[in-house]
Chains A and B, each alone.
Chain A
Amino acid sequence: MCQVEEDYNGLECNQEKITVPTLNRKCMKCKEGTAVLIIRVNDAFCRSCFKEYFIHKFRAMLGKNRVIFPQEKVLLAVSGGTASCSMLSQVQEGLSREAPKKLRFVPGIIYIDDGGACGRSAEERQRSNALLKSIFTETGFTYFIVSLEQVFSLPTSVLVPGTSDPDPSNPSYKQAVDQYIKEKQTLTEENVASAVAQLNIEDSAYSPEHKLALERLFSSMKTLTAKEDMLQTLRQHLILHIARENGYSKVMMGDSCSRLAVKLLSNIALGRGAALASDTGFSDPRYGDVVIVRPMRDYSSKEIAFYSRMFNVPSVFISGLDTKTHDKASIQRLTESFVTNLQFDFPSTVSTIYRTSEKLHTVMPPQSQTAEPASKCLLCLCTLDTKVDKASAFHATLVSEQLSQIKLQDPSLDAPAQSAEQCCTEGQGCGPGGCCSSNRLPSHQDLKTLLCYSCRLTIKDMVATNTLPPYIITEAEKRQKRSQMKMEISEYLLEDDEEDGGTAAL
């Protein structure tokens, strides 16, 4: 903890915000220009130094982490807000010819229109889609404008993490860059750009059934917390699907430092502590073939807001689920208000949380590469944290939940379950209408075993799980059948680490 350059500015003696009433303060970097803004605790920058600082930070973040290889296809997830639009402008800036050390990947843009879940009217949605479309065409990159209703036509493969392509000749980052520079002469950027620009997809159309289905899904969630969580999950799935379909191996998200600090704390409150490192870290590898990166994670929302105002980054404000809600409307909202208010009095709050999050790493269990899909959460694809032993806190919550439930062990409830078991164990396949038919929709109980702790809580908040999109329900059934089958044949399965003690050599 005691590092040489550690910034203890706000930590020691609970230092309050320093209001230094100075007019015409000089920039701390060039010492000449008049300062126009203060970032962090007390650093004043002039306009040009700030611009340099902002641009440099983006490059440094990508350069430090070295996960984006030359010519790789990277999808930029833009929500219309200032942070993701600033990210877009940084990518544009970095790819432009004048930049001394050009960025070298092939970008695409994706925007998910979630107005159907947030209760926006069709005209509003069309209006913001048009505004965004004009911003996107300006950049010249391929773009996808997809409405959230499309989740109802997603395939179940979205819920299965892909394997990243282990290229046997996989060069190291430096080698890849050198190789690219040598080959650059054969491929002119313009050709690529023009060919790719023709692939613009504006799939913002949606069918009325899907619209209705989406509305039903969200109205079946009782709390705003669950709604926000579900929206986030569905959005991720859709982005993942588009990325996979179009050959994008990376997705860039515009989460800022402030946003991630809030996300860290609210994820802990939501029960997602186990996945913190991937939820808030620079890269999120849980989907296997598509890696999520967060290059804006070093920028505070103040820096982003100032930059976009001063340098005219076009953005579109789109109201979301929690716009204009009061502080206690949801866990996420409450955490945001808590952190923002605390930051006001103690300006190093966000950076402290951020620095803590940098120290989090996921411990990869040795056999995780070969883990079957069943050991990942159905919805968020993080490793299931609910198969833990009896001495854990999780087990304690289960026990107390059982004990506090009213004892109505209705015999009629047990009967269908038993008959379902009998139906399959008799060795006969189930005919249509049997327990294995897709007519039987999963109840809360069924889904629980496939979900991590916090996704369970979200589903628990749903009135009717049959409003979930078909790909989720189908995949859930598949996994349940598989685990049931595994249980039935378990005595015939050889354990991996079983020694040859059983078979006597004759």
Chain B
Amino acid sequence: ELSLLGLHLGGAELLFDGVKNHHVTLPGQSDPWDMKQLLAWIRGNMLKERPELFMQGDTVRPGILVLINDADWELMGELEYQLQDQDNVVFISTLHGG
């Protein structure tokens, strides 16, 4: 099992019933969880509405930034990053800021 802390900011929380903080426990599986699987899981289990505003295909919609443990996910391999227990994942929507 994998325990994660999720955060939705900048408007992204609107797609999750307005809830910003999420404590998520992913079911255990043989292969380690990667971001791609996490996103698919979020789409299936957490997104309350309008999936197209959060995801585009396999990845997040352009305009949504992802931070893993407060670092840019581009530095961590993006979708290929393998999640570890107690990781902190933040999604920030930049489309309605300022």
**A residues lining the B interface (CB < 8 Å):** 19, 21-23, 25, 35-38, 44, 79, 81-84, 254-256, 258-259, 296, 301-302, 304-306, 309-310, 315, 317, 319-320, 322-324, 326, 336, 340-341, 343-344
Q: Is B17 an interface residue (CB 8 A)?
A: no
How far is B96's CA from A317's CA once the two chains are assembled, in angstroms? 8
* B1-58 interface (Cβ within 8 A of A): 9-11, 13-14, 50, 52-53
- Best-surrounded residue of B75, B90, B97 (most CB of chain A within 10 A): B97
Residues on A with C-beta less than 8 A from B76 are: 23
Check B65–A302 contact: CB distance below 8 A: yes
Instruction: Determine how close the nearest CB of chain B comes to the CB of A240; give it in whole angstroms.
Output: 19
Interface positions of B (Cβ within 8 A of A): 9-11, 13-14, 50, 52-53, 62-63, 65, 67, 70-72, 74-78, 80, 90, 92, 94-98
Bound-state CA distance A344–B55 (Å) is 13
Residue of B nearest to A254 (CB): B98
Q: How far is the CA of A322 from the CA of B76 in the complex (A)?
A: 33
**Are B98 and A309 in touch, CB under 8 angstroms?**
no
Checking A35, A306, A326, A336 against B95 with a beta-carbon cut-off of 8 angstroms, the contacting residue is: A336
* Contact in complex: A324, B62 (CB < 8 Å): no
| A21-B77, A36-B75 known; A340 vs B63 contact (CB < 8 Å) | yes
Please count the residue pairs between chain A and chain B whose beta carbons lie under 8 angstroms apart in the complex: 90
Cβ B72 vs Cβ A306 within 8 A: yes
Contact A23 B11 (CB under 8 A): no
Q: Which of B53, B71, B72, B94 has the most CB of A within 10 A?
A: B94
Collect the chain B residues with CB atoms within 8 Å of residue A81's CB: 96-98
**A and B contact pairs by CB, cutoff 8 A, 22 listed:** A19-B74, A22-B75, A23-B75, A23-B76, A37-B72, A38-B72, A38-B75, A81-B98, A82-B97, A83-B98, A84-B98, A259-B98, A301-B63, A301-B94, A304-B98, A306-B72, A309-B70, A310-B70, A315-B97, A317-B96, A319-B14, A323-B14
A22-B75, A36-B70, A323-B11 in contact; A305/B53 too (CB < 8 A)?
no
Known: A23-B75, A36-B72. 6 other contacts (CB 8 A): A81-B97, A254-B98, A255-B98, A304-B98, A306-B72, A317-B11
Asked if residues B10 and A37 are in contact (CB atoms below 8 Å), the reply is no
Min Cβ gap A340→B in Å is 4
* A262: nearest chain-B partner, CB-CB: B95
Distance between Cα atoms of A323 and B71 in the complex (Å): 27
Measured CB to CB, the nearest residue on chain B to A333 is B95
Nearest CB in chain A: distance from B50 CB, A: 6
Cα distance, A84 to B80, chains bound together (Å): 34
CB distance from A347 to the nearest CB of B (A): 10
Q: Are A309 and B75 in contact (CB under 8 A)?
A: no
Q: How far is the CB of B51 from chain A (nearest CB, A)?
A: 12
Most chain-A Cβ atoms within 10 A of its Cβ — which of B50, B67, B75, B80?
Answer: B75
B19 to chain A, nearest CB (A): 13
Q: A19: nearest residue on chain B (CB-CB)?
A: B78
Task: Give A361 to B21 CA distance when docked, in angstroms.
Answer: 46
Q: Could you say which residues of chain B place their CB within 8 Å of the CB of A19? A: 74, 78
Residues of chain A lying within 8 A (CB to CB) of residue B53: 324
A306 touches B65 (CB 8 A): yes
Contact B90 A309 (CB under 8 A): yes
List, in ascending order, chain B residues with CB within 8 A of A254's CB: 98
Within 8 Å by CB of A323, from B72, B77, B96, lies: B96
| A44-B75, A323-B14 as given contacts; A79 in contact with B98, CB under 8 Å | yes
B27 to chain A, nearest CB (A): 26
Interface centre among A79, A258, A305, by most chain B C-beta atoms within 10 angstroms, is A305
Q: Is the beta-carbon distance between A305 and B77 smaller than 8 angstroms? A: no
**Which of chain A's residues have a CB closer than 8 A to the CB of B67?**
306, 309
Q: Which residues of B contact A36 (CB under 8 A)?
A: 70-72, 75
Question: Residues of A contacting B94 with CB < 8 Å?
Answer: 82, 258, 301-302, 304-305
| Whole-angstrom CA separation of A151 from B95 in the bound complex | 27
